[in-house]
Structure 1
């Protein structure tokens, strides 16, 4: 059993990736995601999905594509405890804390140049995640979203609630069954098609 997931639980996860319609068609036809290092990544280099939330994936796609011709890809991911690091679990956080300690010891004396703001946490988190062992093929963490509309509603603020997004970073695409991925949702400007499209 892996140190980072002692539960031994295997999960079937419904994962949703928001992108442009053009990129979605390319991903489905080529059966692979093109992965680039990006400044807005925080769980390391990989393919990012929202867990169980196609609406959040579409919202992300609309922001990135300025509301034009967006799509959401659905992937059913069988996450095995041998390679799934869940940073929302006690096991995952304990493992990650020990890992950070080891990296900090090895990089003692190296100064990181980054702005001291909220983004600096993401940069540092991304740095650590990129040093994780290749044995870890998927990472999960829940983050507070940047939805100003929902996060500023008085009724939700009154009960200290805000919108979270459970994100998955798939570091190894071999765990994605590309024969079973599908376009789950399309948006052309303000018109959305919510039906599954193969």
Structure 2
């Protein structure tokens, strides 16, 4: 197994259709990285860190939108490898410093700067994170292009949803999310026990 710099194992949960979960568990299929332009942490295979209930809630939301049939959760043991960890000021500082360079690069290429945007009129969290995705992808690609660093995963924390009570700083859907860029970080999958 390849040596990883970032020595941290975590349990992650992937919300998906039961057919995807079953193919991974029973047939050894692999999850595919999401290439969506609005993914919060750039391109990767997404997991909720230690959040099976939030993963299932997300899968149920996808069913309501007609994107999957039977909501399910797939568990995984993850080794974060060299992690672009946005819970560490070193990496948020890097991202802040990269942003103006990203803007300059976008303008030089005569492209339109992406924006984060709401999913619908009721979305106050701007769930479609086109700008965040573009900046994270660009920053990591720049590090990799010049050989400065190679990142296996990206990790971030998000406050999302309604406040749990008036004037609270705690939100109902707050979570830590991981985008696995290198599938070698996924050490194994498991089917979490279902709650009754």
Question: TM-score, structure 1 length as denominator?
Answer: 0.74
Question: TM-score, structure 2 length as denominator?
Answer: 0.75
Q: Distance in 1 between matches of 2:83 and 2:96?
A: 16
Query: Which residue does the alignment assign to 2:86?
Result: 87
State the shift of 1:194 in Å.
3.3
**Does the residue aligned with 2:59 lie in a helix, a strand or coil?**
helix
5+ residue gaps in structure 2?
119-125, 145-149
**Mapping of residues 50-69 of structure 1, within 5 Å:** 50-66=48-64, 69=70
Matching of residue 162 in structure 1 with residue 171 in structure 2: yes
Distance 1:116 1:94, change over 3 A: closer
Query: Which residue does the alignment assign to 1:141?
Result: 156
Query: Which residue does the alignment assign to 1:77?
Result: 78
CA contact 1:114–1:120 (8 Å) conserved in 2: no
5+ residue gaps in structure 1?
1-7, 186-192
Q: Distance in 2 between matches of 1:32 and 1:123?
A: 26
Distance 1:9 1:173, change over 3 A: closer
Query: Which residue does the alignment assign to 2:95?
Result: 96
Cα RMSD over matched residues? 2.7
CA contact 1:46–1:171 (8 Å) conserved in 2: yes
From 136, 139, 150, give the equivalent of 1:129: 136
Query: Which residue does the alignment assign to 1:24?
Result: 21
CA contact 2:13–2:75 (8 Å) conserved in 1: yes
**Does the residue aligned with 1:15 lie in a helix, a strand or coil?**
strand
